Structures are given as C-alpha cells and as structure tokens.
A and B are shown apart, each in its own frame.
Chain A
C-alpha cells in the first residue's frame, strides 16, 4: 500500500483528510476525482495517518440492508439457542473510518441509512424482533467519479469537507504518480515522513481545544455562506470547525486568514449555488448561469430586520465584514479552482466517457435488498430466508395438533414463513426532455416543456417516474434538471431558462445519452427521450469540448447525429420528437431525426403541455 506521504498531487484532498484527522467532528471528506487519479489510493492511505487500531471499514456498493445496519445472526442464533446479534458495517466503523468508493453509485436506501447513522452517531436496529442501539460515530470518506453521477445532496450536507474537483491533467504530476506506484521509494524515508505527519496531527489534536475564533470571523464565514447561496445552517458549524482545525495544524492559537480561506475553499465553495458577482447580466450570459437566488427577498427582509435592532455595535461589524469577506472569498476561489465551479460536474462529464462498468450494471433490473414476508405469488420466493424463518418453529409446530395431521415432511412450513425477495427496482420511466432553446421560438418551447415536466411530475409518485430536462442553445447542451421526482426541485431549477444562440443538437443527444446511462446504473431501465425541436442542429459535438473548434460541415453534422442516434437506439432508449414549429417554416428535419432515433414524430404546432405529455405517454 502506498503511504499518505508518498502520494503526489491531490494536495487539496490531502489537506482535507488531515483536517479530518485533527477533528473527526468534521464528519468526513468527499473526494470527487476522475478515474485512475488515485482517489481510492489516497483514501486507503488515510488509514495510515490515524492512530493505530483505528477501524477502517470499506463499504461494498452492493451491501444489503442487514449487513449495513446489523441484525440477528440467524446461523449463530439457531446454533446456540440464544439471540446472537450481528453488528452492521456502520457500527463496525464506530470510532474510525467508513470508506465508500464510488459513493455516487450507492443506492438511495443505503445512503439514507448512512445519513441517519451520521446524524445520530449510532444505528437504531429495529429488525427481526431486535431492538438495539449500536454506537456508530465514524468519519465518512467517500470518493467518486463525477461522470458516474452526483452524490445525494442530503448526504453531502452531513459531511464537512468536499474537495473541489480538479482533474489531474498535468502529465508531469501523473508521471510522478506512476513513478511512486512503480518504483518504491526508500522505505525508511517513508516511515520517517509518516511518523512526522502522525506526530503533527497528534500535536494539532492537542492544540485544537486551545484555538479560538473571533465573533467577527464567525460572522465573516457565515456571510460567505450566505453570499454563495449555500443551503442550510449546518454548514456554519463545519466551516468554523475546519478553520479551527486548520489553525491547530499550524500550531496556532488563533484562527487567521489562511485558515478561513482553507475553510471557505473546502467547506463552502463546493456547495455554492451561485457565485458572488451577480452583475453579469449581459446578453452574453453563459448558459451555465444559475437562476437568481430565490431567497433574495428574504435576505432583504433580514437586512431590514437587522437595521431595526438598536445594537449599533453589531451594525458596525456588519459594515466592516463585507470587504474582508470578498477578499477572502476571491482569494480562495482564485487559488486553484476552475473558472466556473458551478459547472464542474458537467464539465467533467464531458471529459470522460463511461467505461464498461456502467454497461455491466445495466443488465440488472434492480438489486436484491432484503427478504420480507409476503404472498408467495407476489414475488420471487427467497428460499434460504424462508427456511431460516421456519426453522425455529419446528418443535412447536410438531406438537401443534392442527398441523400434525399434515403429510409428514422434514420441515413444516406455513405461509407465515414465506419470504419474498425485495428488489430495489425503480421500475418507472425516466423522461429526458431535450428542449431546443435556440432561436425565436425558444421561449415558447421552454414554456411547453416546463408545463409537460410539471404535468408528468404530478403523477410521478404513482408511476415512479422521473423527469430530467436538458436545454440546448449556444455551443452546448446543459442539464437543467437532473433526473428527479420532485415538483419542488423542478420548480426551482427551471425558474429561469436562458434562450437564444446556436442549436447544438448533437451535444444534447450526447448529454441525454450520458444521463440515460447514469440512470441505468441506478436501476432505472426504461428511458424515453422527448425532444422538443425543429430538428435543425447547427453546432457540432466538437464545439462542446473545445470552444475553439472549427465550424463543422453540414455533412459531418449529419453524420454525428446519425452515429449518436444509432447508439441511443441500440441502448434501447425510446424517443419521440415533438415539433412545435409552424408548418411553413418546417423543412422536414424533425421527422428525419425521429426516424434516425427509431422514434416517433409528433407535429404539434402551439402544443399545450398536456398534449406533449400525452404524446410521451402514448408511446
């Protein structure tokens, strides 16, 4: 195994893990990173800088509920005749590290259990006649490849540090990594360095209770959270803790600017929903721009409320902080982050192509989660759990007169014993709307699409459907609404829809295809594309990756679309193309597109949202 000190690059991740080692109350570290950049190496190396004997538990992605939470160990219970409790993975990580590789692929019920354990610091086991509480206070270290999809926000909210994503593109650094992996360095050096580091962390731990932070500094951090539009109040505590831990690492007793920058960088910025400068309202607004914050009004209200309070001292502080914050924040942002942090996950999606893993998981229709009582006809019988649940009753049942006149069998099984397999299967359909936001009809199409999304989500619960919306305009397509079931979220994300510019149809198809593949890895098998466009693309796929790409010829454009359509079709994705353009403008591109995709074409000039939904559902 490679030692923590031998890892080249990933400085931010290393800093983050060291802060966590100093203050485990930070909850954990999430490291997004592209394939093969050594994210799992660094996570495993983390164990090496913790005190000896600290548990390090790796969570397998396909963990079942009883392994995760714990439960009755039936084998041992039957053997000994007394109830034997088996602790789950969460409780095994107590006092140590729970490591999840590809945390974004973890299924939602497992994520919920982890969230619950973090917020309680323990696991409630209420299963199979068992009622226990197991301590489960752990640091969560999660790594993932952003091209696999995002980590659930609720989980990120409970984890203190999120390392900003930066792709390791510097080939020299890569070379060094390779060298470290291949040519082992002097073991003695490594040991010395490791010892030094663990000593440093130990000293920082002792220093931590003696570090203080001023009220003004706390205010400045909170102000930063506000101006970045970070949701929730929990984050404040993490930010303050990160700043304190950073000061402790430097053996200081006061938090200084560097510590605050570190905290802003590792805790706040990755959660930003908007960038502080808001004056960029020019025509040339990049498509990535987030909708304006919905809570602006409230903020204004709060401001008012504040000026009402007679506390003049507080007012003065208020006046003083903004400059300082701005400076801090700008510094922190500029240091090593890409231009537009909000766009990171998307940017990374474009760089990577999904490997074979996504495909392998596609064939699964949901995953066996647990066995539960049920009718034999209503599902697949889980044989072993059924037998196990029947086993304890054999003695009593043999004595039971009602059952004893049955034909003699080795086992008396009643219908109460029958357990059926429960799969986590999202059998609903994912509707991916791709809306042409270019040209003059864009606003109209957007309104229609929004209406259709809303209408579909109304009944989403019943059908387990999800809806995603991709808009395409300018140079590239953009996921405005990732697959979601939430009306609230759709409402918020689709609040402002930028329109105008070129028509990057190929980019939309590509992004839609990627979204579809991600959804498949999460168990959604049925996917439908709903394209609302006149079918006239004029921007090539190349432009999506490279802003300086040359203009592409019409023939090549056609070929791109054809190739993409073929892949989409062969992945079993259904498509419909809805053309809402007035007839005299149409040149027949939309029907052609539908043909390429093996889908259906609907001509609905001035369509109402319901008509689009109808079309989507009829297919």
Chain B
C-alpha cells in the first residue's frame, strides 16, 4: 500500500511543483478573457510583462508536517480541507508563533480538485456550463467536449495592500490601450474559487476590502460591473485569517464569518523550542534536503485527509448528540444558529479525520472551543477563559445527559 501511494505521490509532487498556484494563473488563457457585450472582442493571449522567476515561491514553503506544536491551528486547517463548508478559520495569537508559516505550508498537503482545463475560475464542468451558457448568444456546450485537469486546491494570498480592482477583477488596461478591447481580467477572488483565501493580519485589513469580502462570502458570487462589462462568477472559498489581537480588533461581522477560531500561544516547552530552532536552521541551510526528509510524512497526511474526505458522507450523528450540541449553544447564550451548525459540521469532519463513522460527544468536546470561542459575548472583565467556560458548560450538558 505504501509503495503504491509512494509512486503515485511522487508523480503528484512533481506535478505540484510544476503547477504552482501562481503559474497556473500566469497561464491565463483565452477562456479567461471573457466575452462581454457585442462590441467586445475576445483578445488573444496577452503578452504579460515577463513574470519574474520569483513567482515560484511555493517550492520554498516550510513543510506542514515539520511544524512543531500549534496543534489547534493545524487541526482547524485540516478540518476545513475535509469539509470546506465549516467556513474557514481565524488564527489569532502571539507574534512569532508560526501562524503564517503554517497557513502557507498548507498548500503542499492539499488534495487535488478537478476543473475545466485552464479555467481561471477553477469551475467544475457543471459550473462552467451553467456560467457560460447564461451569457448572451452562447450556444449550448457539450460537456463531453470539455477537457478537464486536476489541480491542487488553490491557496491564494491576499496581501493587505491589495486594491479592490485586483481582488474583484477589472478590465485589462493593457489590452484596452493596445487594441481598444475591453477584456475582463479576473482577480484574486476568481483564483480562490474552490480554494483557500488567506489574509495575514486580517484585523488590519482596510474597511472597503472587508466589505467586499463579507459580500462575496455571503453570496458565493463575485459581481463586477465596469466599462459596460458585467461579470458574475462563482467565488466560494475557505477564508483563513491570522493576526495578533493586540494590534487591533476584528470587525464583528467578519469575525462571525469564520467558522473556527484557533488560538495560538508562545510555546514554552524548551525541548520543543530547541526543535523549532533546529528544524528552521536545517531548512534555511538546505531547503531541498529538508523537504525530502519530510516528503513521506507530507504524503501520509495528504492521504489521510483524502481518506477522511471520502469517508465524510458516511459519517452519522445520533439525535442525542445533536440535542446536546443545541443545549450547549443555548446555555452559552450564543445568538443565531451558526454555532450549532459549525459544531455539527466540524464534529463530522473531525470524526472522519479520525477514521470513525459515528460522531460522539468526545469529538464534539475536542472541537467545541474552536467553534464557539469567538461567538461568546465578549466581557473584558471576565476572568474565565472562553475555552474554560465552554468546557464547563459542556460538562454540565453531559452530566445532565448522563443523569437522564
């Protein structure tokens, strides 16, 4: 079994290194330049000002499995891969604890997805047909004629300085100048469709970008209207944010959007810290050798995630567990139903990750803090930690359940 996956994995990893996220976007093809309106012609492949070689950065990411500690964050990310409907994760915590390193390492352990070949929006065949046929004057597309390809789940980095037009997409200025053609150039939201959108220092993001994100995250669609072009494309992504709470608070609506909230603190164990220093130095000295050393573990994790994804539809939950979850949320005074929903989904994913087919309260207990921490009413004078509070209520709920 190992051998089989070893060879398959190798192929995958070579493919992975060739098809880095940024390169796939560099290959923006004719399909990406969307026809819009009758007076607009489809432009030929634009000559991009020679993309610098530095684009190939994902090869340099520190391996996910070599990251020491910070289990809460790692689990949150993995559960989101298993079920993207969990709604993303917010990682908040101390400086210098490997938040962004971990998220950026994620790309290497992600499974593959299938999309229509060279489609910038990463659409499946069905989505592609639905989207394209809705356009004026478009004839029916024969699904069997469409070529597909497998790509790694995209991880798109949204830097703080991004402008709105790059996030949502805009009209290609170069083509407008050279050929007077209006061609739409998809933005980061397009690239992130069906993948992860990562925002470091999310608590410092500009308000107008937060507005855009909230809007798109709620509807799953990105709509751009400019210069008489109207574009609408799917933009469903797992939102991953990280930051240090001391630098500023997150807008409440955005906070609520995140399914999970992982907390990350300075590691105080000396042995672990020595290990961190050792691994980091090893990686800096010879990244390739280091990657090789962890290749096996990376593939193992990747496979475990894929297995969990396959198992997920078979996982079940009894009504009793569901009732207990509802009671827990009620007792904690959590508004709305997003709390229950997130716990349920996350518990399913967690059970699947552990290879178990039935969700028990043990699973719930392990993820309840992640799901609810940020949904509790914030009381600055409260001395009890949010996690402890959740644990305490959970124990109460379980105690009742046992007594009955």
Contacts and interface: CB of A to CB of B under 8 A. Distances in A.
B52 to A, nearest CB: 6
Interface string A95-107: 0000000000000
Contacts of A222: 270, 273-274, 277
B167 interface: yes
Interface string B137-166: 000000000000000000001111111111
A122 B54 contact: yes
A372 B163 contact: yes
B95 interface: yes
A393 B176 contact: yes
A128 B165 contact: yes
B248 A485 contact: yes
B384 interface: no
Contact of B381 (A218, A233, A454): A454
Interface string B261-297: 0000111111101101110110010000000000000
20 contacts: A69-B161, A109-B160, A109-B206, A112-B160, A112-B204, A116-B161, A125-B161, A126-B163, A128-B173, A129-B165, A153-B247, A154-B201, A231-B266, A233-B266, A233-B273, A302-B269, A372-B164, A416-B227, A454-B381, A461-B249
Interface stretch (A10-18, A487-495, A500-508, A512-520): A487-495
Interface in B9-47: 22, 25, 39, 47
Contact of A126 (B96, B161, B206): B161
B200 to A, nearest CB: 7
Contacts, number: 216
Interface in B324-378: 378
B59 interface: no
A614 to B, nearest CB: 17
Given A157-B95, A226-B268, A396 B166 contact: no
Which of A78, A116, A450 has its CB near the most chain B CB atoms (within 10 A)?
A116
A72 B166 CA distance: 12
A235 B96 contact: yes
Interface stretch (B109-117, B180-188, B315-323): B180-188
Nearest to A223: B270
A232 B380 contact: no
Given A234-B96, A454-B380, A77 B268 contact: no
Given A116-B200, A489-B246, A458 B378 contact: yes
A331 interface: no
A233 B248 contact: no
Contacts of B157: 124
A219 B275 CA distance: 10
Contacts of B278: 218
A119 interface: yes
A58 interface: no
B159 A126 contact: yes
B304 interface: no
A126 B380 contact: no
B2 interface: no
Contacts of B159: 69, 113, 116, 123-124, 126
Given A232-B266, A233-B273, 17 more contacts: A81-B178, A82-B47, A82-B177, A119-B100, A126-B162, A126-B163, A126-B188, A131-B188, A132-B51, A132-B55, A158-B96, A236-B277, A237-B281, A314-B271, A399-B180, A454-B379, A486-B248
A490 B274 CA distance: 32
Contact of A487 (B51, B171, B187, B378): B378
Interface string A195-227: 000000000000000000001001100110010
A395 B274 CA distance: 64
Contact of A82 (B178, B201, B271): B178
Contacts of A416: 226-227
Interface in B63-105: 94-98, 100
Q: Report, as a range, how many residues of chain B touch the other chain.
A: 35 or more
B176 A491 contact: no
Given A81-B177, A82-B178, A234-B95, A488 B277 contact: no
Contact of B39 (A298, A400, A485): A400
Q: Report, as a range, how many residues of chain A touch the other chain.
A: 35 or more
Contacts of B271: 306, 309, 314
B177 A392 contact: yes
Contacts of A153: 95, 244, 246-247
B117 to A, nearest CB: 21
Nearest to B176: A392
A2 to B, nearest CB: 35
B172 interface: yes
A461 B187 CA distance: 29
B404 interface: no
A373 interface: yes
A457 B245 CA distance: 13
B8 interface: no
Given A83-B49, A226-B268, A372-B208, A219 B274 contact: yes
Contacts of A596: none
B251 interface: yes
Contacts of B200: 116, 119
Given A116-B159, A450-B381, A373 B164 contact: yes
B174 interface: yes
Contact of A302 (B172, B180, B208, B268): B268
B228 interface: yes
B105 to A, nearest CB: 13
B19 to A, nearest CB: 17
A487 B162 CA distance: 28
B49 A85 contact: yes
B272 to A, nearest CB: 9
Contacts of A124: 157, 159, 161-162
Interface in A391-415: 392-393, 395-396, 399-400, 402, 414
Contact of B228 (A65, A120, A152, A400): A400
A109 to B, nearest CB: 7
B83 to A, nearest CB: 28
A181 interface: no
B57 interface: yes
Interface in A212-266: 215, 218-219, 222-223, 226, 231-237, 240
A485 B249 contact: yes
Given A82-B49, A233-B98, A451-B381, A154 B166 contact: no
Nearest to B25: A131
Given A83-B173, A112-B201, A226-B270, A127 B247 contact: no
A387 to B, nearest CB: 15
Contacts of A290: none
Contacts of B244: 153-154
Given A83-B174, A295-B268, A392-B173, A154 B161 contact: no
